[in-house]
Structure 1
């Protein structure tokens, strides 16, 4: 463990050199880092192989394009939270149910913001909670991914039952995703926890790509059929308001 920690520390020592230096030669990195030549050579090679560093034809190193991806994701998620929160709070105050903000994290979904219901009987969900993309309010994200990504996910995932309403048949799941894209929202029942219900809508960015989902979720008894049209209307409007602030023009 200590050896791995030292490797990480040295790697960060190399990468942080580029905060103040857009480009560096190998010798310049050696002078600035005070690392032994052999050790530096090995670590620079690994960082280049993983895409964290790139080398031009003149032998100058710079940070790899992967940092643009990381930076975009971090910035986007932070922006979503700050933009979404007041809209989520208004929605919670209006419908008096818990409102969740969900993003994709590889093959899972993560809850990154929540405004809880004031009802004493509530559905337990915490910031940082993870769930599979195929189940519950998380499915709104899967449904709006590009077709190739959806199919790749379905080919490589095993649908496990989580609660009594979890969809474990891939044909039914595809149908549910088709409906979500057609309707612009999902209604899920007892998929992550028994006797719960959620209404979810997609949040799109300026490229009209799915970047998050917003949901109203709670105890099934408070989500009667005659109330669903109101919840659908308010959740989709909240999703649109957030998407517009992120630059989307699709809604």
Structure 2
């Protein structure tokens, strides 16, 4: 039998209010929670004393900085592969294509997890493979959402070498693709890392809204014709958002 401490549960009920409301007065907490005023007073005082709640300059309650410390620790201790794998498996079942997880390593992207395509064909990706940030949907979606200063420095300094027949080697075209990804929330590539293959990727963010990785589906280009892209892109974006939310990201 599960036994819950009533005071702890009610305290959590109060804290959960701040998932919806950024600021609340004492009376608003009482009114919205439906908890008796005397009980709210005791719990709010305790939560404030422990650092879970703070008062702003207007005397309204907000979540305390202690949550930021906890949130940072949780984010630092999460293994992105463990977090992403269940979502990747679900996406893999939906689309039947290879699903890749990628993170930035310096000026390259590195594939750290992969689920193979159900099609009898070998793709260019594999765990441990590296690619430049400008080439391939998953790499480029990371580049798209880097801080502007870091992205521009990269673009100014990098030389764009062809890897396959579709590799982007023109910086102005690359910039336009990066801007498009920022608008749409995903990137598409065709024959950029290997001929006759395509990929769709979406960014993964942490609780600060910073890019921490990307997830992509990849397969033969014949499966990525224009009419199929919108539906596939939405599936990849949904998966990326699900992973991001596990890191505390709020869209």
Runs of 4+ aligned structure 1 residues displaced above 4 Å come to: 75-78
TM-score (norm: length of structure 2): 0.68
Alignment of 1:30-179 (within 5 A): 76=76, 79-137=79-137, 138-179=139-180
C-alpha separation between the residues in 2 aligned to 1:196 and 1:77? 35
Give CA deviations for 1:196-228 in whole Å, capped at 9, x if unaligned: 110000000000000000000111012122211
Question: Which structure 2 segments of 5+ residues have no match?
Answer: 1-71
**How big is the shift at 1:236?**
0.3
Gapped runs of 5+ residues in structure 1? 1-71
How far the C-alpha of 1:117 sits from its partner, in A, is 1.2
C-alpha deviation, 1:194, in angstroms: 0.7
SS at match of 1:215: strand
Measure, in 1, the Cα distance between the counterparts of 2:195 and 2:76: 33
Cα distance, 1:146 vs structure 2 = 0.7
Seen in structure 2, the aligned counterparts of structure 1 residues 115 and 178 have a Cα distance that, compared at 3 Å, is: same
SS in 2 for 1:128: coil
Computed over aligned residues only, the root mean square deviation of the Cα atoms, in angstroms, reads 1.6
Which residue matches 1:192?
193
Aligned-residue offset at 1:156: 1.3
Partner of 1:87, secondary structure, is helix
Contact 1:111 1:129 (8 Å CA) reproduced: yes
Does the 8 Å contact 2:124/2:194 carry over to 1? no
Deviation at 1:118, TM superposition (A): 1.6
Give the conservation status (yes or no) of the 8 Å contact 1:108–1:132.
yes
The alpha-carbon deviation at position 171 of structure 1 amounts to 0.8
1:223 is the counterpart of 2:224? yes
Post-superposition offset of 1:124 = 3.2
Alpha-carbon spacing, 1:87–1:106, altered in 2? closer, same or farther (3 Å): same
Q: How far does the alpha carbon of each residue in 1:78-113 deviate from its partner, in whole angstroms, 9 at most, with x for none?
A: 521111001001101110000000100000000011
TM-score by length of 1: 0.68
* Preserved contact between residue 122 and residue 219 of structure 1 (Cα < 8 Å): no
Aligned pair count reads: 178
